[in-house]
Amino acid sequence: MLEGEHLMRFNGICLVSPNVKRLREFYESALRVEAEGNDVHVKLETAGAVLSIFSESGMEQMAPGSIKNYGHGGFTIEFEVQNIDEEYDRLRSMNVPIVKMPTTQPWGRRSVWFRDPDGNIVNFFSNVRR
């Protein structure tokens, strides 16, 4: 691990969304955590980082012009989980659009990819023994 005064620690990511309520409900179910906030801004705390969701109107009010031509669905967000196959079954029961079926890569990572309501890819993964 790097040490020193210039080491940066990743804290989280903020998704800008046209529908904070819909994305909030999706991530509360997918991540099994409760969001804090309102229909303008919410945060979901996970082990390691915070996922925030901010409304387009709130972002534009905070920084005028910042969302011009920004689009949706341009992120891949990863979460480490215990059991991919159990998570896959749970996601299927939620009718979540699956992008990549559960797969184990040669380097020992097993993952399933799915889309959130804004089109971002979410990767649930676990490291498995080879």
Residue 1, pLDDT > 60, answer no
Q: Are 56 and 100 in contact (CB under 8 A)?
A: no
Residues whose CB is less than 8 angstroms from the CB of residue 101 and which lie 6 or more positions away in sequence, other chains included: 88, 112
Considering the domain architecture, whether residues 14 and 35 belong to the same structural domain is answered as: yes
Q: Can you name the residues that pair with 122 across neighbouring β-strands? A: 77, 114
Q: Is residue 51 part of a domain?
A: yes
Confidence label for 9 from pLDDT (cuts 50, 70 and 90): confident
Q: How many domains does the chain fold into?
A: 2
Helix, strand, coil percentages in the chain from 3-state DSSP, rounded to 5: 20, 35, 45
* Mean pLDDT confidence for 70-97: 90
Considering the domain architecture, whether residues 37 and 80 belong to the same structural domain is answered as: no
Residue 13, pLDDT > 80, answer yes
What is residue 65's three-state secondary structure?
Answer: coil
Residue 129, pLDDT > 80, answer no
Q: What is the pLDDT of residues 84-127, one digit of tens each?
A: 999 999 999 999 999 999 999 888 999 999 999 998 999 999 99
Q: CA dist 16 to 36, 71, 124, Å?
A: 16, 9, 21
Considering the domain architecture, whether residues 81 and 58 belong to the same structural domain is answered as: no
Considering the domain architecture, whether residues 32 and 83 belong to the same structural domain is answered as: no
pLDDT at residue 107, rounded to an integer: 86
Domain residue limits at 110 = 73-130
pLDDT at residue 11, rounded to an integer: 87
Q: Where among 62, 82, 99 does a domain terminate?
A: 62
Q: What is the pLDDT of residues 29-57, one digit of tens each?
A: 999 999 999 999 999 999 989 999 999 99
Q: Rounded distance, CA 45 to CA 4, Å?
A: 26
Q: Rounded distance, CA 83 to CA 51, Å?
A: 21
pLDDT at residue 41, rounded to an integer: 96
